[in-house]
């Protein structure tokens, strides 16, 4: 028998497999609410983003139903056979990769940017201002902006890399996550972040440009990490961070 290479499975898929087996066992009846993200993370000793990616995978499969503001509920298993499960990158893994790669691209672009590049970015931003979110137009303009930044380098390979990374957000997993949290308010926040990237590039400051782009993708991840609202009285992580900062400030006073 021929030996085959063993491929490590992504952690969120391993978690999804455990949760699926747990549901198959009948431990939680159909229609009942599952343990919270926090409880699952503590039980499985993984991060909450990993739990979030696993739950999104199960929602795509039709095993759970997520109600933002209420929680995660067990669904009746699909009657038809499930589509083959793939080892797609999780949404947060993708955003982290984009932050690293596009941050480096923005830093290099700041040293090469010309007035004609700024004119292109300004034109895209003007159209983004008029776009409605959620919509295919908004996604296309978002992609156009990021690819336009990469095009400043004049390297087709880098430009294609940035475009391909963005296109991975069209996966069912990323799309389902976005459907829960992207709205007009998140679009306006993202638009402000895109303008900050443009302004940093105009300053021709590599560090400023890199940080502005990374900040945008980090905040995108934060928006996707908002609580599903599955725990009464749960304090939002950002509120905790604000409280810690306030205490630190008092301590320095």
Q: How far is CA 70 from CA 48, 52, 101, in A?
A: 17, 15, 36
Residue 179 reports pLDDT greater than 60: yes
pLDDT in tens, 88-136: 678 888 899 999 999 999 999 999 999 999 999 999 999 999 998 778 8
Contact yes or no for 23/59 (Cβ under 8 A): no
pLDDT tens for each residue of 147-172: 999 999 999 999 999 999 999 887 88
105-109, 184-188, 223-227, 238-242: least confidently modelled range: 238-242
So what's the pLDDT on residue 84? Answer: 44
CA 38 to chain centre: 19
What is the enclosing helix (H) or strand (E) of 188? helix 184-202
List the helix and strand counts (H, then E) for the chain: 11, 2
How confident is the prediction for the chain on average, in pLDDT? 84
Is there a common fold for 11-74 and 91-224? no
Task: Classify 165 as helix, strand or coil.
Answer: helix
Q: In the prediction, which pLDDT does 242 show?
A: 39
Do 66 and 55 touch, CB atoms closer than 8 A?
Answer: yes
Low-confidence winner among 25-34, 88-97, 238-247 (lowest mean pLDDT): 238-247
Q: Is the pLDDT score of 139 beyond 70?
A: yes
pLDDT, position 8: 52
* For residue 208, cis peptide bond before it (omega within 30 degrees of 0): no
The rounded distance, in Å, linking the Cα atoms of 219 and 211 is 12
Q: Where are the domains of the chain?
A: 11-74, 91-224
CA-CA distance, 60 to 104, in Å (whole number)? 33
Residue 209, CA distances (Å) to 103, 154, 191 in order:
8, 17, 16
- The superfamily in CATH containing domain 91-224 is GntR ligand-binding domain-like (1.20.120.530)
User: Distances from the Cα of 27 to the Cαs of 10, 32, 33, 42, 59, in angstroms?
Assistant: 25, 10, 11, 18, 18
Does the predicted TM-score (pTM) go above 0.85? no
Fold of 11-74: Arc Repressor Mutant, subunit A (1.10.10)
């Amino acid at each position: 028998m021929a030996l085959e290479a063993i491929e490590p499975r992504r952690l969120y898929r391993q978690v999804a497999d455990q949760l699926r087996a747990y549901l198959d066992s009948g431990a939680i009846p159909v229609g009942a609410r599952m343990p919270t993200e926090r409880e699952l993370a503590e039980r499985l000793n993984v991060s909450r983003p990993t739990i979030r990616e696993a739950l999104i995978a199960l929602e795509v499969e039709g095993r759970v139903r997520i109600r933002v503001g209420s929680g995660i509920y067990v669904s009746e298993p699909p009657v038809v056979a499930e589509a083959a499960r793939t080892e797609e990158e999780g949404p947060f893994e993708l955003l982290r990769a984009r932050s690293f790669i596009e941050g480096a691209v923005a830093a290099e672009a700041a040293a090469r940017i010309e007035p004609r590049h700024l004119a292109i970015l300004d034109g895209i931003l003007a159209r983004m201002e008029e776009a409605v979110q959620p919509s295919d137009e908004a996604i296309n303009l978002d992609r156009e902006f990021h690819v336009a930044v990469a095009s400043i380098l004049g390297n087709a390979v880098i430009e294609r890399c940035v475009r391909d990374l963005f296109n991975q957000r069209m996966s069912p997993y990323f799309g389902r996550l976005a459907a829960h949290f992207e709205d007009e308010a998140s679009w306006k926040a993202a638009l402000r972040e895109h303008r900050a990237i443009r302004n940093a590039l105009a300053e021709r400051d590599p560090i400023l440009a890199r940080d502005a782009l990374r900040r945008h993708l980090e905040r995108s991840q934060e928006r996707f990490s908002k609580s599903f609202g599955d725990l009464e009285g749960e304090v939002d992580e950002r509120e905790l961070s604000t409280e810690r900062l306030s205490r630190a400030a008092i301590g320095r006073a």
